[in-house]
Amino acid sequence: METATLLLGIGPRTLVLPFSRADASSGAAARVRNAETTMPKPSTTLDKSLNAFHLWGIAVGLVISGEYFGWSYGWAQAGTLGFLVTTLCVAAMYVAFIFSFTELTTAIPQAGGPFAYSLRAFGPTGAAVAGYATLIEFVFAPPAISLAIGAYLNVQFPGLDPKHAALGAYLLFMALNIVGVRIAATFELFVTVLAVGELLVFMGVVAPAFSLASFTAGGWAGQDAFGPAAIGGIFAAIPFAIWFFLAIEGVAMAAEEAKDPKRTIPIAYITGVLTLTVLAFGVMLFAGAAGDWKSLSDLNDPLPQAMKRVVGESSGWLHMLVWLGLFGLVASFHGIIMGYARQIFALARAGFLPGVFARVHPRFQTPHIATVAGGIVGIAAIYSDNLISVAGQSLTASIVTMAVFGALTMYVMSMAALFRLRRSEPDLARPYRAPLYPYAPAFALVMALVCLVALVVYNPLIFSIFAATMGAAVLAVRLVAKPAVPSPAPAA
């Protein structure tokens, strides 16, 4: 008798292979045992092939599209100075978060990332909250980026439908992710380096036009002096400041594919968040100081428009920025596909999603079914963009806000798990320990809660949808699934 347990956990399934005693004595039992040992089983093991440079490329690449577009809408809410305050606070939160989060990633290097940490700290219910929040973040961010890729290509090729281009991007980069993690990570590193280089070129080209007076004019929500309107604007601009850093935590989902994760992951995380912090403030300051920042605050391409003022429309620098700007979008889009695939894989492997999503490709050792599943959701969102609106905005804009809700929820759960595991498992092997504990993780936790509350205040309808989705998912785990219980980690 052989017993196989369903990953979804509906109950044990017993496979009975009937044969008589005579059969057993005549060798039929031996044939059955041989069939059991030779029958191929779906693999759930990922390939370990990523070094620290690959992981840095993933960390920065996941986020770098946020340096190219989206953040300038924060100026419309808070002005340049108000948004500078917002970004300083959010950047401090992310630095504290990453320095603390790295302890969890190195102590529990599993593909589920925050899901795995919360499962260990709080059990299945806490894991469901963290896991599904992370899944919402990573599944709902790519449709917006793919549509931005489509819109960019439509400018160069007016006959190309942006949605068809977005579909093509999904198909191309899902395929690239399936054929091998090392190939995918090497490509991610390549486009990330190009995207970082282009941001540095942008700063250098517009630097001669830098004017502090231009940057500060009306910088407090349109006013020259700080006042009540600026306070509201600072809080309203939080989602756009988060866009500078959103998804950097996705490196944790590649932990099972990293070589020596206890060494390479801290290097990737710390250098990655510092790289992104420098780039965020650099592009914001140089773009805002190159002329009238108000004309950039409602645009989806603030960098090319800022450069155009300095070098003119016919400059080769401008055309290079426009073309290479695509690499920033591609880097984030491609990296987040890697992230959502690993999250779906980890949830399924632990029993929180159907077990079929935990299978890996027999040749490439990548979670191919999970990659396609997340892509189907994203493609459906793309083609529903003009059909559905939420709170007076397009579906894509709404699911981006949903992604931010997911991220902030995950940040809260991760920092709470850090504190819980320090108390419940003091002997857990921790190759990297959070500096300034407990102050740094406490600061990250409080800031994440403040950002979450502000987001609820300014987006009550979308929060209601997010809360209902999360509630249904957690309830399903409690009523239907029987998740695996994490085994104790080795002591230090």
Contacting residues for 11 by C-beta, under 8 A, at least 6 apart: 482
pLDDT value, residue 177: 82
Mean pLDDT by groups of 10 residues along the chain of 492 residues: 35 35 43 43 59 87 85 89 95 94 90 87 92 90 84 77 90 86 78 90 91 91 88 89 87 77 86 93 93 82 83 78 78 86 88 88 86 92 79 72 91 96 94 92 96 90 92 84 52 42
Degrees, nearest 5: CA angle 198-138-128: 150
| Measured distance CA(316)–CA(187) in Å, rounded | 26
**Both structure tokens of 348:** 């399924």
For residues 212 and 215, give the distance between their C-alpha atoms in angstroms, rounded to a whole number. Answer: 5
Cα–Cα distance measured from residue 291 to residue 112, given in angstroms and rounded to the nearest whole number? 45
Encoded amino acid at 478, one letter: R
CB 481 within 8 A of CB 349: no
pLDDT of residue 25: 42
Q: How many CA atoms lie within 13 A of 165 on its CB side?
A: 21
**Domain span(s) for CATH 1.20.1740.10 in the chain:** 49-479
pLDDT at 301: 75
Angle separating helix axes 460-479 and 114-156, nearest 10 degrees: 130
- Give the whole-angstrom CA distance, residue 126 versus residue 412: 11
End-to-end alpha-carbon separation of the chain, Å? Answer: 39
Task: Write down the pLDDT at residue 46.
Answer: 57
Provide the pLDDT for residue 418: 97
| Protein fold of 49-479 | Amino acid/polyamine transporter I (1.20.1740)
Which tokens go with 144?
């917006």
User: Quick one: pLDDT at residue 453?
Assistant: 94
- Which residues face 394 on adjacent strands? 389
250 token code pair: 């996705």
Distance of CA 459 to the CA centre of its chain: 21
